[in-house]
Structure 1
Amino acid sequence: MAPLSSCSCPCAADPTRIAGLAAGVGATVAWYALPDYVRSRPLRGLIKTGLLGVIGWSLVSMLPDEPELAPYDDEVDCSKGAEAADEDPLEGVTEAAPCELAVLGGAVAGSALVTLALERWLFRRGERRRASGVRFAHTRQGLALGGLAAVLDAATLASRSQGACGLPRG
């Protein structure tokens, strides 16, 4: 496998991000292949709860590094109160309008409904294929979705990564 970084130095790619990518892809394959190996719905739910933890760690491990905080300014004296009593400390702070919150809530609900519909469709498709005699029907679509996840994750990492030496990609 080619490194995700095209840095010209002989440094290796960040192993934590590579492990995160591998764990996420593996969890994705396991998530969608699970009905072929575990027929009990409650047990699948329990296993998927654990897979959510793996996927969560995978996402966090692939986040970009946070910039360092600026050094503390020792010359700022915070012991005295505000000099001007007429200054409003909340000036410029706005609250979300109810219509903005409604749009946000609608987007979250819509996303959840689309995800649920897609998950149900994939499960039913796998069950139809299994009933028609296709072996490992869920596993096959899990491998396809895992491959798609691998390509998208690798492209995301490659688009924002730097070489392990800290130099921008060449």
Structure 2
Amino acid sequence: KETAGASVIHFTEGTFVDDRRTLGFVAGGIVLCLAPVVAPDAPAALVEYWAVGEDCCEMRCNFDCGTARDLGATTAVTERRGPLYNKAIAQAMSVYGLNSTDDAQLVSFVNNPKAVIADIWDESLTIALIAMIMDLCMCVVAGLVVARVLSRAGPRDGFEKSL
């Protein structure tokens, strides 16, 4: 199982999100939703993949995040696993008597993973562009401050003669 660096996962036909074991974990005013992804031939007690989303489920049912409910949905993109999702997984394991692998992957089911990846790139480039513009502005301001300070100090005797 080598999916730690993957961004898109294609599950086998018949794989589904077990929305009967949905958990809605309330944190910071949002509901983190998760439910185990179950393969037709795998034991349901050991969870290797969790479908996740925000504000798309009830506390213990109705997981409706992304395309997870679509018939035949087998394509997902990986999601970052943060401390709140770790708490949610621990709670789901306790509530439903599940076991989860330590390196269980969080995924969001999507119809078009290329569009999701393109959106991530667009957002990243926008952030980088904003950072560059802010850096340029700071450099211009710093340059103006230095020029003003140097102009008030007046010319130095040795400096003027050397030019």
- Higher strand proportion (structure 1 or 2): 2
Q: TM-score, normalised by structure 1?
A: 0.25
Report which structure shows greater RCO (CA 8 Å, sep ≥6).
1
Task: State the structure with more CA Rg.
Answer: 2
- Higher helix proportion (structure 1 or 2): 1
Q: TM-score, normalised by structure 2?
A: 0.26
